[in-house]
């Protein structure tokens, strides 16, 4: 499944979607950035409530398919522009991290 397909099925709001055709191969949830860097795998969805510029750095290093911001978390305008410039997919939802992981897991695992 691609990030764009998942966004439609889960009713996620794209903040940055420069690579919507990217395939997803799993999920990872976490907010401790150093932990995510060492454990998220390439092409995973990364679920978090963190919303600073460091999230984009970690997303790039871990090569995740997309960052999914839970619980209505948003990025600032500068971070959105940086995500687009770096080719990082970022989506947001009002749903809880648990709900998002559960729904995505049913679709991509």
The reported pLDDT for the residue numbered 77 is: 98
Per-block average pLDDT, block size 10, for the chain (109 residues)? 98 98 98 97 98 97 98 98 98 98 96
Strands (E), 1-109: 13-16, 26-29, 44-48, 66-69, 90-92
The reported pLDDT for the residue numbered 59 is: 98
pTM of the model: 0.97
Q: Which domains does the chain have, with CATH numbers?
A: 3-108 (3.40.1390.20)
What is the C-alpha to C-alpha distance for residues 104 and 98, in angstroms, rounded to an integer?
10
């Amino acid at each position: 499944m691609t990030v764009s397909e998942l966004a439609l099925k889960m009713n996620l709001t794209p903040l940055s979607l420069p690579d919507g055709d990217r395939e997803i191969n799993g999920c990872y949830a976490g907010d401790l950035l150093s932990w995510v860097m060492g454990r998220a795998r390439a092409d995973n969805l990364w679920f978090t409530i963190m919303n600073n510029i460091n999230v984009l750095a970690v997303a790039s290093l871990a090569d995740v398919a997309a960052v999914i911001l839970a619980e209505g978390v948003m990025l600032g305008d500068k971070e959105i522009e940086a995500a687009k410039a770096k080719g990082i997919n970022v989506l947001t939802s009002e749903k809880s991290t648990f709900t998002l992981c559960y729904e995505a897991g049913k679709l991509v695992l």
